[in-house]
Amino acid sequence: MTRPTTAPKPAIDAGLVRASGVMAIGTLASRVTGFLRTAVLAAALGSGELADAYNVPNAAPNALYDLLLGGILTSVVVPLLVRATKQDADGGEKYAQRLLSAVAVFLGFCSLLAVLGAPWIVELYAHRFAGQQRELGVFFARFFLPQIFFYGLAATIGAILNTRGRFAAPMWTPVINNLVLIATGSLFIAMSTGHATTKLSTGEQLLLGIGTTAGVALQTLALLPSLRACGFRWRLRFDWRGLGLGEIARLAGWVLVYVVVNQIAFAVVTNLAAAAGRVAAAHHVGHGDSYAAYSYAYQVFQLPYAIVAVSVVTALLPRMSAHAVDARIDALRADLSTGMRLSGVAVVPAAVGFIALAPEISALVFAHRNTSPADARYIGWILAAFATGLVPFCLFQLLTRAFYALRDTRTPALLNAVATAINIVADFAFYALLPPGSRDIGLAFGFALSYWLGGWLLARAARIRLRGLDSRRVLQTYTRLLVASTCGGLVAFGLARLVHFVLGEGFAANVVALVAGLGIGCGIFGTLTVRMRVREATDLLTAVLGRFRP
């Protein structure tokens, strides 16, 4: 008698893979369009004073939202929503209504105050701005700061959807924002002529100001149909005592410390990068430092993390929070192990690929119109510096969410403060030691260094708290991924250099180098992951491809 054959057991939880696969597809669409958005804005604004006058105030709403409420919404609120869903007789409906109402009222008031204080906010993040650049920065800030309200509303709606098992909409709606910004940047290119300068007409200023914030508003409004589809009806409620504000305040205290520390580091980076841009311009460096160049490289750096790792984190937090409520530490540890291994499938090869092909990637994306080939290549070197910290950056975010699921906000806050202090010290040291025209690269290395240290400290703390981290399986997976990625990356790097040796520089050479390098490099990576039996890679690929099958 023969035994029936059975399919091999997946290396990771199938439900988590499916949820992550759904979100990964939506995030891929949003990030691809975000990639195009960044390229269009770089072509429209360049990477000099005009780009900084736009990008610094456009980053301020995100920073202030994180400071006011963002850290609390991403750390404290999801576990509390999960608990209300499990314990309240109405499945947490009234609790979610109170939460959404409180967030809307609070952030609406804060947005109004921020608009009134726009000159001081610009001064905080870019005190070296002067003259027309400062005036333009303040003008944009008054249009951009209302985004604080929409960011908070979107994050809260997304948390409510996630606790109800709806993951797709929050990952897809950023596409709307990106399309609006692509249209805004394209119209600006059509309206403007010549080199990008801070001397803009009133129509050009209004186009950038209104178009940028309209994209964020439409992205938020697009979530409302999904909220209704999952059976949630939002009623404006003011009985906020039922929110458990005391517990939120207790947990949020350390989250606030975490966020404040990050905002100090952000303010240091923006000021140093903007100052480096002015110094580089004064020294007539062919490729200039600027906050815009740093920001463009950072947005590309986050692409692989956002496509897979954010999807994994979003799917994991409600699950880990439910395990924490039930005191199932073993299940929480298993989910964290799954998240780290699943994320590694994306971030390990991406880090190697960025280092191998960063100049070609940035030249292809950014070397258009007002961004010169030299500026684009420099953005590539900043990207390569960022890429050295991609793996610890991803692991740090996952480990932090594990502590949040346990409703421990103190440990991540304290360890993040140590890592951020190292980041700030490293940034000032690199700024002082490096010559004009290379200081942004140093700032990116300082960022990477801080996450290597922070990730190591947080992993040690998590190993103690969770009685282990399944370290053997995680290290085994990452070692195999690193070997496969390095082999593919070395071949991709060599092919790119060969293509440039034969064809020289230029758009066509960059396209051929990228196609050849990525195509053959990815083929080698895929073959080796199969040969080395990296089951996480095949399980994730199967889940994603399954979304396209009938």
Nearest to 173 by CA among 218, 120, 236: 218
Residue 216 confidence (pLDDT) above 90: yes
DSSP one-letter string for 409-462 = -HHHHHHHHHHHHHHHHHHHHHHHHSPTTSHHHHHHHHHHHHHHHHHHHHHHHH
pLDDT digits (tens, 9 = 90+) for 220-241: 999 888 888 877 777 787 777 7
Q: Which residue has tokens 């703390």?
A: 461
C-beta of residue 406 within 8 angstroms of C-beta of residue 390: no
For the CA atoms of 250, 253, 259, 264, the dihedral, rounded to the nearest 10 degrees, stands at 180
Distance CA 427, CA 542 (A): 42
Residue 197 lies in a domain: yes
- Count Cβ atoms below 10 Å from residue 400 Cβ, excluding itself: 24
The structure tokens listed for 43 are 């072509």
* Between residues 164 and 395, the one the model is more confident about: 395
Element at 218 (helix H, strand E): helix 202-221
pLDDT digits (tens, 9 = 90+) for 316-333: 667 777 787 778 888 888
* Between residues 541 and 131, the one the model is more confident about: 131
Distance CA 373, CA 378 (A): 9
Distance CA 460, CA 361 (A): 36
Residue 461 confidence (pLDDT) above 80: yes
Residue 8 confidence (pLDDT) above 60: no
How much is the pLDDT for 410? 86
Nearest to 269 by CA among 18, 56, 23: 56
Average pLDDT of the residues in 205-217: 94
Distance CA 88, CA 90 (A): 5
C-beta of residue 451 within 8 angstroms of C-beta of residue 393: yes
How much is the pLDDT for 386? 95
- Count Cβ atoms below 10 Å from residue 361 Cβ, excluding itself: 24
Q: Which residue has tokens 């007539």?
A: 284
Nearest to 218 by CA among 174, 170, 159, 169: 174
Q: Which residue has tokens 């403060």?
A: 417
Average pLDDT of the residues in 514-532: 90
Residue 6 confidence (pLDDT) above 60: no
Supply the mean pLDDT for the chain.
Answer: 83
Most confident stretch, 189-203, 247-261, 343-357, 523-537: 343-357
Residue 408 confidence (pLDDT) above 80: yes
pLDDT digits (tens, 9 = 90+) for 108-166: 999 999 999 999 999 988 887 888 889 999 999 999 999 999 988 888 888 888 777 77
- Count Cβ atoms below 10 Å from residue 48 Cβ, excluding itself: 25
| Residue 306 pLDDT grade (very low, low, confident, very high; cuts 50, 70, 90) | confident
C-beta of residue 375 within 8 angstroms of C-beta of residue 293: yes
| Residue 246 pLDDT grade (very low, low, confident, very high; cuts 50, 70, 90) | low
Residue 7 lies in a domain: no
CA max distance for the chain? 87
Residue 63 confidence (pLDDT) above 60: yes
Residue ranges of alpha helices (H) inside 222-328 are 224-229, 245-282, 291-301, 303-304, 310-325
* Between residues 88 and 449, the one the model is more confident about: 449
Residue 333 lies in a domain: yes
Residue 5 confidence (pLDDT) above 50: no
| Residue 441 pLDDT grade (very low, low, confident, very high; cuts 50, 70, 90) | very high
Residue 1 lies in a domain: no
Distance CA 322, CA 301 (A): 32
DSSP one-letter string for 144-183 = HTTHHHHHHHHHHHHHHHHHTT--HHHHHTHHHHHHHHHH
Q: Give burial (CB, 10 Å; 0-12/13-18/19+) of 229.
A: exposed
Q: Which residue has tokens 């929070």?
A: 321
Residue 200 confidence (pLDDT) above 80: yes
Residue 520 lies in a domain: yes
How much is the pLDDT for 194? 65
What one-character DSSP code corresponds to residue 240?
Answer: G
What one-character DSSP code corresponds to residue 5?
Answer: P
How much is the pLDDT for 100? 86
Who's near 296: CB < 8 A, 6+ residues apart?
38, 42, 47, 362, 366, 379
- Residue 252: give the domain boundaries: 14-546
What phi and psi, each to the nearest 5 degrees, are found at residue 37?
-60, -45
C-beta of residue 420 within 8 angstroms of C-beta of residue 480: no
Distance CA 451, CA 387 (A): 11
- Count Cβ atoms below 10 Å from residue 509 Cβ, excluding itself: 19
Residue 2 lies in a domain: no
Query: Dihedral sign, CA of 54, 438, 440, 387?
Result: positive
How much is the pLDDT for 539? 67
Total structural domains within the chain: 1
pLDDT digits (tens, 9 = 90+) for 337-356: 888 888 888 889 999 999 99
Left if phi > 0, otherwise alpha if psi is -120 to 50, otherwise beta: which for 159? alpha
C-beta of residue 536 within 8 angstroms of C-beta of residue 347: no
Residue 547 confidence (pLDDT) above 50: no
C-beta of residue 35 within 8 angstroms of C-beta of residue 101: no
Residue 9 lies in a domain: no
Residue 304 lies in a domain: yes
The structure tokens listed for 457 are 């400290």
C-beta of residue 293 within 8 angstroms of C-beta of residue 440: yes
For the CA atoms of 87, 93, 99, 103, the dihedral, rounded to the nearest 10 degrees, stands at 150
How much is the pLDDT for 528? 92
Residue type at position 7: A
Left if phi > 0, otherwise alpha if psi is -120 to 50, otherwise beta: which for 94? alpha
| Residue 4 pLDDT grade (very low, low, confident, very high; cuts 50, 70, 90) | very low
pTM: 0.75
- Count Cβ atoms below 10 Å from residue 416 Cβ, excluding itself: 25
Distance CA 157, CA 183 (A): 26
